[in-house]
Every structure is written in C-alpha cells, then in structure tokens.
Structure 1
Amino acid sequence: MEKDRVLVKDVVFPVFQMKEDFKQSRLIKYMEDESVPASKRLNWLPYFTYFANSFSDINNYILPYEEPADEFEEQINSHAATDAEHNSLINKDMRNLQDKLKDFTFADCLEFLWNDNIKNSRLVAYGIANLTQMASNPLVRYCLIRVIEELGNTFFLISHKCTVGVIESNYFGDVHLGYEPGNLHGCDPDKFESQSLTVEEAETARYVMQKCYDLFFDMIEEMYDRAIENRFDFD
C-alpha cells in the first residue's frame, strides 16, 4: 500500500465496538428484560414511525449518487434502493394496530410525530443528510452506511424476540431482521474494505461514523423514555 494511506477495513473496524456499546442502551436492555412481558417490550413502536419513513427518504434521495461514476457508487445506489422499501414494514404494523389507535385524528398524528419528545428521531434523518454530504467519496460513504447497517442488525437481533401485544411486528420482527445482514445488500464487504483512503479521508470517515453512532444512540435512549411511559397498550 502507498505511504500515508489507510485501508478502509481498518477505518471501519471500530464499528464492532460501537455494536457492543449500542447493546448497553436502555432501550435494548428494556427489550431484553424478562420481567417485562414480551408483548409489551415494543409498546413504543408508534414513536418509531417518523424515523422509519424518513429513513426511506434518506435512501431514496440522499444516500444514492445521482449519476454513479463507478462500481462503488453503483453498489451504494443498489443498497439504498433496497433499504428504501423497509418503511412499508412499519406501515403494515400500524395498519394491523389501527383498531388500538382509532381515536387518533390526523391532527393528533401530526402533533404526535412532531412533538419535542421524539425530536431525536427526527434529527437522525437531518444528521445523516449532513454526514452524507461530507461523505462524497463512496469509500467514506460506505463507512457511514456500515455503521447504520451494523447498528440495525444489532437492534433487530434483540427486537425480533418481542411482540406488539399478540402480533409479531413486521418491522421489528424476523421479517426485517432477514433484510439486515450488517453490511451492504448483495455486496462482499471486502470489495470496499480492500480499498484505501488518504489520511484526511480516513479522518472524515471516522468522524461521520462516530456522529452517525451518536445520532442513533440518542434516538433509542429517547425511545426508552417513551417506552416507560406506557402510553400504548396493545394487549
């Protein structure tokens, strides 16, 4: 390797410690708590709907390259197109729970989704949009996406053991888990990780990775605060 270059593999390596740190979040501990009935451990699901749908926008309009210039950009576009469809899973969950939420008016829904008590879930999308602009290099953008995917895999490995009342969630259950391998869809990680970055590019990649982690950690900490309020009872 050329002097003063850094392997992408070495840059993304800290994501494995991020996964371990993520497991210490209060929400993940809550979902693992056997003293809480499994049917109640996803009682915060409606609060997640803003993020899930805004993440579809991120994958449709922010992460992809408008005119992919090489195979790396094409691979990122392919991955984003797949991830953009996952919001349909949580929307299906909400349809299945409609009888429990029939008193919600459209105005109630707007006030619910744009309440300050879930501001961190809204900030994730804006934050990722900003980080994506910094990650114009597809190898750096890969590092950003890798954090998103690894944290998603970590989360769904826990959430798929929980239910929404008697209903298995499409979004938090086995269906979505099957779509979250922890890396880019249909891509051998070595394709990206065998490449190298300049020292400056590597620093940018590390920065966007950490900021991305912080966004997701803050969001699920906020979700825990909503969970313990027990506003929704889906039993």
Structure 2
Amino acid sequence: MKLSVINMQEVLALIEQKKQEYAQLPLFDFMQNKTINPRQRLAWAPCAAHFIMNFGELNKYFLRVEPTSDPIQTLINRHTYEDDHHWLWFLEDLKNLELDRSLKFTDALKFLWSEETKNARWLNYQLYRYSSQATPIQKIIVIEVTEATGNIMFSTAAEIGKEIKAITQKPCRYFADFHLDVETGHTTGASGIEGILQHIQLSEVTRQEALELVENLFTAFTQFTNELLVYAETHKIEQQLKAAEILEQAF
C-alpha cells in the first residue's frame, strides 16, 4: 500500500503553535513583572544549571555527527558549533548576579540532583533520548523546539538583563541582548535548514512520529519551565545574599 506524503511544514506549524502556548506560561509573567526586583526575576538561574551546562554536551555528542555526507546533518553540525559554548556566558552571569556565593561543592552537587531540579535533569535526559541514534530530521525537530523555547526565554530575560545593568553597572551576557542576538543570528532558518525543510515529504508513519516528538519535547520544556517559577518564588535573593555575607564575615 502506498503511503501518503505530508510536507514538513505541518510539523513546523505545530512547533509554532506550541511555541505560542509556551509563551503563556506563568514564569514569563513573573519575569515581566517590574514590581519584582529584577535580580529576583532571574533567581531561577541556579535551578536551570543542569540543563544549561549539559546543552553543550547535547550539541557535541548527540546532535553532531562527523564526518557526514548528509546535507542536513552538515547544517546541523554547523549549528552545533554555534551552540556548544553558551554555558560560559551563563557562568559569568551567575557571578555578576551574585548567585554563586558561599556554596560548598558537595552542597552544589546535592542541589543539582535534588527534587528541586528534577525537571531540569529530566529535560536533559529526554533531549539525549530523542537525539541518540536519531535521523537528521528528528534532530532538526529537537533543534527547532529548543530554538522556539529559547527564543521566548531569552527575549524575556534580555529585558531583565538591561535593568540589572542599569542598576549594578554589571553587564549580563547569557541573560542579555548579546545572547538573544547570537541566537537570532544563527537560527536554523538563517543557516539554511528551513529552506530544505520546506521540500521534505514525510510518510504518514514518519509524520505521526514527528508530531509526537514535538508534543513530548514541549511537555518536557513546560515541566522544566514551571519548575523554574517555583524555585524563583521560593528562594529570595536578598535573604540568600545576607546569609552569604554573614557566613563570609564569620571566616
């Protein structure tokens, strides 16, 4: 029996739909609430560390395949080289936001593998799962979903970064226009993948698998993002800084 074919545009349309739904999550209302201290609106940053620090690994060891003769994989490879080092900017911002003070290494490890950060870890595991042994098309979907959620997050965070710089005179790089501009400048559309995707035809079976992948990834990103809000609302930055100062003075 001959399988029907469906253009990849249907998958991309679902990603756009889910992106708009993702943008309505409560975290982004919290981040845009200017009655809250701007540093508090990024208080979730430590909770995101497991995901952010593993993102480079995802690009290096799961999405990238070299050597390759596949034109789509070649574009994916190029994309991974642009995305595998952003964690360095994250570490800079943690210092400038004073979110890395007076925490023992063992305490940091306990936190990264705690209940508070379980959805960050789960997101990583899902991304690894769906990227390992994946076809180039499946990897494209992983990238497209990650780019879509990242665009919402970074466009919101960049505005907070501006506020923090105006107050502290310390620039952010991860939570800033700098990062947003880099992301916007190397989106899959800009690197040529979008043009190729528009001409890809999927069998009905592959189409269904692709749509399910989009749904599953957005579910994982949503759980992760909701976890960030809980952390930001329950961990007061000023209290943590005062406690750190007292501890530092004691020694």
Q: Provide the TM-score with structure 2 as the length reference.
A: 0.84
2:159 and 2:217 mapped to 1: Cα distance?
Answer: 26
2:199 and 2:90 mapped to 1: Cα distance?
Answer: 35
Aligned twin of 2:88: 88
Aligned twin of 2:231: 226
2:237 and 2:137 mapped to 1: Cα distance?
Answer: 42
Query: Where do 5+ consecutive residues of structure 1 fail to align?
Result: none
2:175 and 2:220 mapped to 1: Cα distance?
Answer: 19
Distance apart, 1:188 and its partner CA: 4.9
- Return the letter of the residue paired with 2:187: N
Aligned-pair identity (%): 23
1:215 and 1:168 mapped to 2: Cα distance?
Answer: 31
> Alignment length, in residue pairs?
232
1:137 and 1:188 mapped to 2: Cα distance?
Answer: 15
The more displaced of 155-164 and 205-214 is 155-164
1:211 partnered with 2:211: no
Report if the CA contact (8 A) 2:43-2:232 is conserved: yes
Aligned twin of 1:71: 71
Matches within 5 A, 1:1-235: 4-97=4-97, 101-133=100-132, 136-163=134-161, 166=168, 167-181=170-184, 183-184=187-188, 186-233=191-238
Distance apart, 1:187 and its partner CA: 2.4
Distance apart, 1:114 and its partner CA: 1.3
Report SS of the residue matched to 2:35: coil
Report SS of the residue matched to 2:160: coil
* Cα 1:214–1:190 shift into 2, 3 Å: same
1:168 and 1:219 mapped to 2: Cα distance?
Answer: 26
Distance apart, 1:67 and its partner CA: 3.6
Distance apart, 1:124 and its partner CA: 0.9
Distance apart, 1:48 and its partner CA: 1.6
Report if the CA contact (8 A) 1:183-1:189 is conserved: no
* Cα 1:124–1:116 shift into 2, 3 Å: same
Aligned twin of 2:246: none
- CA RMSD after TM alignment: 2.2
Deviation digits for residues 41-88 of structure 1 (CA, Å, limit 9, x no counterpart): 112212222111111111111112244231101111111121111111
The more displaced of 156-165 and 26-35 is 156-165
Whichever structure has more helix as a proportion of its residues is 2
Report if the CA contact (8 A) 2:62-2:131 is conserved: yes
1:192 and 1:144 mapped to 2: Cα distance?
Answer: 14
* Cα 1:160–1:106 shift into 2, 3 Å: same
Q: Provide the TM-score with structure 1 as the length reference.
A: 0.90
Report if the CA contact (8 A) 1:8-1:197 is conserved: yes
* Cα 1:207–1:191 shift into 2, 3 Å: same
- Return the letter of the residue paired with 1:155: M
Query: Where do 5+ consecutive residues of structure 2 fail to align?
Result: 243-251
- Return the letter of the residue paired with 2:180: L
Report SS of the residue matched to 2:182: coil
Report if the CA contact (8 A) 1:64-1:80 is conserved: yes
The more displaced of 177-186 and 75-84 is 177-186
2:55 and 2:103 mapped to 1: Cα distance?
Answer: 24
